[in-house]
């Protein structure tokens, strides 16, 4: 993963302390956090952090293609780094979201049948291996 500050600068984003720490968290933790999760995880490191700052930062990151928002109907928005294509599994028992690596050539296409592709999101629903083992 690229250094968070450098990545922000390359995308034309001013690398404030809050922005760098939020991006670093997303790069280091693949837990698909919500805004509330990010707030709880980062408030000790940044006591002046607000949920509004997190919302605005994530919105900016989504617009710049650094992060993407997982749109799972019935759930809060979850966020993930947009560093490489992968699908997700939403466990119907525990509610956790897991990354799934897929081999699919279409995820690199910018156009399919004349349609401009701006993003791909694949979400599987099922039972994760941890819940199945119980």
Cα 94 to Cα 131: distance, rounded to the nearest angstrom:
7
> What integer pLDDT is reported at residue 19 of this predicted model?
96
Residue pLDDT, tens place only, 77-114: 999 987 766 788 889 999 888 888 776 555 567 777 88
Instruction: Give the residue ranges of the chain where pLDDT is below 70.
Output: 1-2, 84-85, 103-108
> What integer pLDDT is reported at residue 111 of this predicted model?
78
Q: Domains along the chain?
A: 4-81 (1.10.10.10), 87-133 (3.30.1490)
Cα 54 to Cα 38: distance, rounded to the nearest angstrom:
8
Using a 10 angstrom Cβ sphere, with 0-12 exposed, 13-18 middle and 19 or more buried, the burial of residue 60 is: middle
């Amino acid at each position: 993963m690229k250094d968070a500050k450098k990545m922000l600068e390359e995308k034309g984003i001013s690398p404030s302390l809050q922005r760098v720490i939020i991006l670093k968290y997303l790069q280091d933790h693949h837990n698909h956090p919500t805004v509330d999760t990010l707030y709880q995880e980062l408030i000790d490191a940044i006591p002046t952090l607000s949920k509004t700052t997190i919302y605005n930062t994530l919105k900016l990151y989504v617009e710049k293609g650094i992060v993407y928002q997982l749109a799972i109907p019935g759930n809060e928005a979850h966020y993930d780094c947009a560093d490489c294509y992968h699908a997700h599994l939403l466990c119907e028992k525990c509610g956790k979201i897991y990354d799934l690596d897929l081999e699919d050539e279409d995820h690199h296409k910018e156009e399919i049948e004349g349609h401009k592709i701006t993003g791909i999101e694949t979400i599987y629903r099922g039972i994760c291996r941890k819940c199945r083992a119980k």
